[in-house]
Structure 1
Amino acid sequence: MPADKPPTVPPEIDIPNPGKSEQFWIETDYSDKTRFWAKRFYPTDSSAGDEEIQPKATTIFVHGFVEYVDRYRNIFKLWPSKGHEILGFDQRGWGNTWRNSPKPDGNYGNTTWPQQFQDLEFVIRQTRQRLDQRWGANKVPIFLLGHSMGGGIVTAFHTRSEEWVKQHGGNGPTQEAKEMVAGVVASAPWLTLTKPPAWFIIWGASKLLALMPEIHWNVDLLGKNISRDPVVASNFENDPLSDKKVYLKAIQGPLQGGMDMVDKSHKNWPESKPYLIVHGTGDLITSHKGSQTIIERMQAKDKTLKLFDGYYHDLLNEPGQDKVVVGEYVINWLNSHL
């Protein structure tokens, strides 16, 4: 576990009325005693001693592959500045959840799609309970925002069939949890890759996993391909919380499941659930064409694809005001669905 490197600092950004933030642990009732490192950014009333005020909505953020929530700690101030709360949690096997786990050595990226759905449902329920206790039952709507791998997760969360859930031991998103979500935003979702591996590599990986379920894999992700901001690119290369050696099983879900959503399981999307995809046309990691295809094929009444010309993969960590343009577009969409 790399402990000798200092944590990276994202580029500063000037946001007026940024509200406040707090980090905390989301304790689960799991048998393995998993707990999630979390951080929320919330609006305050500057005329009343920065007292917390009821947000217009709460956005639960689901981060991407080999990353973590605190990479976004500056741009996420934009949400409180617009009267919104945003909450992110480091998923099992990633970020501070991994680093502070009982046995971090060898456990980086140790997760699967079914586990990620179970964990997201737990956070949704915990958040719903917290908001209801603080502000009143269902007074604050909950939205999901997932980036890259997280964008695939928040999409897949709403497209799991009953058959899929049964095949995975009943460990899938419940209808009750899905109904707690007012709308879904996917940022550069992992549906299809810009440079997908050949079919026989995917086939071979599945066979290999069946024989060696705990096998590791080195991923080829370069900072310069993530963002056009050189600081963000350098951070990604040198971040002690962004390792590139993960479990192969952590790749299988988004790799095969993403393609399946484009081809088939998009049919399971709830017709009344609003869905927004934001994607950069210059994305070198996930393909904006996959996003275009799933939006075209979906039967959702309320579906939107917003393409940002020339933007790279890490939309909320692009240079200068570019990230703000994306953030404000998402927040305006949230406002239109309150």
Structure 2
Amino acid sequence: MTAHDFSFEWQTQDQVMLKGRCWLPEQPKALVCLVHGFAEHIGRYVHVAAYLNAQGYGLMGFDLRGHGQSGGRRGHTPTYEDLLENIREMMALAAEKFEGLPLFLYGHSMGGNLAANYLIRHQPNYLKGAVITSPWLRLTQEPPLPLKILAKVAYLIFPQLMNPANLKLEHLSKDTTVQQAYGADPMILRKISAGMFTVVSKAGLLAIRQADKITLPVLLMHGLDDKITSADATREFAQRMQPELLTAHYWENMRHELHNETEKEQVLALIVKWLDDKMSVSETSV
């Protein structure tokens, strides 16, 4: 049972106010720091927090800039590095507030893209490992060539130009209640800027090429019925990782949001098992 559920906020160096939430059990054995996907917000992970809390793990996360209750232009980021810096700031807050508590990173979809690049570029050896689910490394179906050209031109001239996200609700999960809740959620974004699309797409391809630079254990998961982000790209990423650091699992008949699928208990149980394994390895090496 959750003993503590509290909100927090901080102001970035470029004066954007970011809003976060933290869920803690009575005696957490570790804290999982979450980076959500594009268009959504941390409030969609309450059930994930409840599951992790019941197993002794805390969950902490924030609404990315331009998302949810955080500030910033909707569906846009000035640079990709701003997103990574905000993750670093969250991790610094976690380390300061929960000194001595082991930390894990958890990124879903665009958050998986960010988590992978954070591991590659920042080399955060203070982490025990990372969970990456359905990462946006490539899209399952790339936009038509004219739209890709328009996005590239807009990125150079007017990166704030907004385009429809064109997400189909049935691609999220087989669970119709998840689809309906997403469709009715007023904090869900319906558009993405040319700048956001371009920098995240580039970073996804970079993560595939540089996956061998990751030096921490990673649990990598993707649904094979994902019609949003490419499971094939995730396999390419996995093939370039150092094999001794990788635990990969590909779920048959599951769609994009593994933690919201009809079989989500299996997914969350595997995450907890992996966390427990990493914690036990850490304990025996002390």
Same fold, judged at TM 0.5 (above): yes
User: Which residue does 1:85 correspond to in 2?
Assistant: 58
> How many angstroms apart in 2 are the aligned matches of 1:202 and 1:261?
20
- One-letter amino acid matched to 1:22: D
1:58 and 2:31 correspond: yes
Secondary structure (helix, strand or coil) at the match of 1:276 reads strand
> How many angstroms apart in 1 are the aligned matches of 2:75 and 2:126?
28
Alignment map for 1:276-315 (pairs within 5 Å)? 276-299=219-242, 301-315=244-258
1:298-321 Cα shifts (integer Å, max 9, x gaps)? 2253101111110110111112xx
Secondary structure (helix, strand or coil) at the match of 1:311 reads coil
User: Which residue does 2:192 correspond to in 1?
Assistant: 246
Structure 2: stretches of 5+ with no match in the other structure: 280-286
Report the CA distance between 1:58 and its aligned residue.
0.4
1:148-178 Cα shifts (integer Å, max 9, x gaps)? 0001100011223xxxxxxxxxxxx4x5xx1
User: Which residue does 1:318 correspond to in 2?
Assistant: 261
**2:33 and 2:105 in contact (8 A); partners too:** yes
Secondary structure (helix, strand or coil) at the match of 1:73 reads helix
Match of 1:192 among 124, 127, 138: 138
Moved over 6 A (4+): none
1:75 and 2:10 correspond: no
**1:60 and 1:86 in contact (8 A); partners too:** yes
> How many angstroms apart in 1 are the aligned matches of 2:207 and 2:147?
20
Report the CA distance between 1:84 and its aligned residue.
0.7
User: Which residue does 1:233 correspond to in 2?
Assistant: 179
Report the CA distance between 1:21 and its aligned residue.
4.1
1:157 and 2:98 correspond: no
**2:152 and 2:194 in contact (8 A); partners too:** no
Match of 1:268 among 205, 213, 227: 213
Report the CA distance between 1:29 and its aligned residue.
5.2
> How many angstroms apart in 1 are the aligned matches of 2:153 and 2:223?
34
**1:72 and 1:317 in contact (8 A); partners too:** no
> How many angstroms apart in 2 are the aligned matches of 1:117 and 1:150?
10
Report the CA distance between 1:202 and its aligned residue.
3.3
> How many angstroms apart in 2 are the aligned matches of 1:246 and 1:199?
17
User: Which residue does 2:10 correspond to in 1?
Assistant: 27
> How many angstroms apart in 1 are the aligned matches of 2:4 and 2:139?
34
1:156-206 Cα shifts (integer Å, max 9, x gaps)? 11223xxxxxxxxxxxx4x5xx12221111011111211123566435422
1:87-118 Cα shifts (integer Å, max 9, x gaps)? 11111100111xxx4xx7xx211214211100
Q: 1:83 to 1:157 in 2, by over 3 A?
A: same
> How many angstroms apart in 2 are the aligned matches of 1:305 and 1:315?
14
Structure 1: stretches of 5+ with no match in the other structure: 1-17, 45-52, 133-137, 161-172
1:131-152 Cα shifts (integer Å, max 9, x gaps)? 11xxxxx3x2100000000011
> How many angstroms apart in 1 are the aligned matches of 2:214 and 2:278?
18
The alignment of Structure 1 onto Structure 2 pairs a total of residues equal to 278
Q: TM-score, normalised by structure 1?
A: 0.78
- One-letter amino acid matched to 1:19: T
Secondary structure (helix, strand or coil) at the match of 2:211 reads helix
User: Which residue does 2:23 correspond to in 1?
Assistant: 41
> How many angstroms apart in 2 are the aligned matches of 1:202 and 1:159?
26
1:108 and 2:70 correspond: no
Q: 1:300 to 1:201 in 2, by over 3 A?
A: farther
**Largest Rg, 1 or 2:** 1
Q: Percent identity?
A: 25
**1:223 and 1:235 in contact (8 A); partners too:** no
> How many angstroms apart in 1 are the aligned matches of 2:41 and 2:23?
15
Q: 1:300 to 1:131 in 2, by over 3 A?
A: farther
**1:75 and 1:323 in contact (8 A); partners too:** no
User: Which residue does 2:154 correspond to in 1?
Assistant: 208
1:330 and 2:271 correspond: yes
- One-letter amino acid matched to 1:211: I
> How many angstroms apart in 2 are the aligned matches of 1:242 and 1:19?
26
- One-letter amino acid matched to 1:60: C
**1:110 and 1:247 in contact (8 A); partners too:** yes
**1:21 and 1:39 in contact (8 A); partners too:** no
**1:128 and 1:180 in contact (8 A); partners too:** no
Structure with bigger helix share is 2
Secondary structure (helix, strand or coil) at the match of 1:337 reads helix
Question: More deviation in 278-287 or 292-301?
Answer: 292-301
Match of 2:85 among 95, 118, 124: 118
- One-letter amino acid matched to 2:10: E
Secondary structure (helix, strand or coil) at the match of 2:140 reads coil
**2:225 and 2:256 in contact (8 A); partners too:** yes
